């Protein structure tokens, strides 16, 4: 495996310097969409999105992840111009109003380019630079960090019949391949974050196993981001609808942190901030 034994202490880029050593970072979710699984339609209007982002920042978010296209199971693609129309005005205002960095959640290079020009500092690509051949050159040219996420299939079909022989080993192999691709495209390895893609082409058991074995991704030597917030595997385990998954999310977040997560992508920032601080306090006494 490619990797390093050196501790990961910072994530840096133009206008960005995030401390990964002392605590877990909170990435607040801002879906500027009509159909996201948890909060679709609530923040589709720019003013509503701005207010929500300001609330997330007040609750302790370290960065805000803005997305204009739902990636829920079964979701269909949004035209580029529509995605730009949704996210760019929001990012422009947030970049002026907030002191925390903005991430753009997109698979489209044209959207990412406009978002970065508007003030986004990170590209969060659920396809790990696979869906748009122009994304990797764009990220390299702009020098911004990228989140490379694992997904089996596409949002439209990813939950049809996900199959793995060994889900963690296969995701690790995927990460190795995508890190090499990113580096060959001119993206510095120090600007890569990895996301195992909980809920993206995985069964309930796959998601649970990823959380239980996340330590195995440490050998890749890059920060790990996880996004279990309110997802369906929690609902299936607990038998609860999306609006009642706070405690299940908290358990997943705590386990993820104990097994090495550096960034957690969540809807409930204040509550998960408390969970993360407690889990990080415990994690300091682990001896691997």
Q: How far apart are CA 254 and CA 283, in angstroms?
A: 10
**Section 177-188 average pLDDT:** 98
156 catalytic? Reply is: no
In a domain, 50, yes or no: yes
Q: Is residue 15 part of a domain?
A: no
Residue 4 pLDDT: 47
pLDDT of 114 higher than 60:
yes
Average pLDDT over residues 235-256: 97
pLDDT band at 76 (very low <50, low <70, confident <90, very high): confident
Q: For 2-17, how does the pLDDT look when each residue is reduced to its tens digit (9 = 90+)? A: 444 456 789 999 999 9
Confidence of residue 154 (pLDDT cuts 50, 70, 90): confident
pLDDT at 168 over 90: yes
As for how many domains the chain has, the answer is 1
Q: Is 102 within a domain?
A: yes
**pLDDT for 234:** 98
Would residue 280 show up in a list of annotated catalytic residues for this protein? no
Domain that holds residue 141: 23-281
38 burial via Cβ count (<10 Å: 0-12, 13-18, 19+):
middle
CATH code where residue 77 lies: 3.20.20.20
Given the residues 114, 202, 231, 245, the one annotated as active site: 231
Catalytic pick among 10, 265, 270, 277:
265
Q: What span, in angstroms and rounded, lies between the C-alpha atoms of 179 and 129?
A: 10
């Amino acid at each position: 495996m490619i990797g390093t034994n050196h501790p990961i202490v910072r994530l840096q880029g133009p206008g960005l310097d995030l401390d990964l050593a002392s605590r877990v970072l909170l990435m607040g979710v801002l879906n500027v969409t009509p159909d996201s699984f948890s909060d679709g339609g609530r923040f589709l209007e720019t003013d509503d999105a701005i207010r929500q982002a300001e609330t997330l920042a007040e609750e302790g978010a370290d960065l805000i992840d803005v997305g204009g296209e739902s990636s829920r199971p079964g979701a269909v693609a949004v035209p580029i111009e529509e995605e730009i129309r949704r996210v760019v005005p929001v990012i422009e205002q947030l970049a002026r109003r907030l002191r925390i960095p903005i991430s753009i959640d997109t698979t489209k290079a044209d959207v990412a380019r406009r978002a970065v020009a508007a003030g986004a500092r990170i590209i969060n690509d659920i396809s790990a630079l696979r869906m748009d051949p122009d994304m990797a050159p764009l990220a390299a040219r702009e020098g911004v960090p990228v989140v490379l996420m694992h997904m089996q299939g596409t949002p439209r079909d990813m939950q049809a019949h996900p199959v793995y022989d060994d889900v963690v080993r296969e995701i690790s192999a995927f990460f190795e391949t995508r890190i090499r691709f990113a580096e060959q495209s001119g993206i510095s390895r120090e600007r890569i974050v990895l996301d195992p893609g909980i809920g993206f082409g995985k069964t309930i058991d796959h998601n649970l196993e990823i959380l239980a074995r996340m330590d195995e991704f440490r050998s890749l030597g890059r920060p790990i981001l996880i996004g279990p917030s309110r997802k369906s595997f929690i609902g299936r385990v607990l038998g609860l609808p999306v609006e009642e998954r706070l405690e299940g999310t908290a358990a997943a977040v705590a386990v993820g942190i104990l097994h090495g997560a550096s960034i957690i992508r969540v809807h409930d920032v204040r509550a998960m901030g408390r969970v993360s601080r407690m889990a990080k306090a415990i994690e300091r006494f682990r001896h691997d």
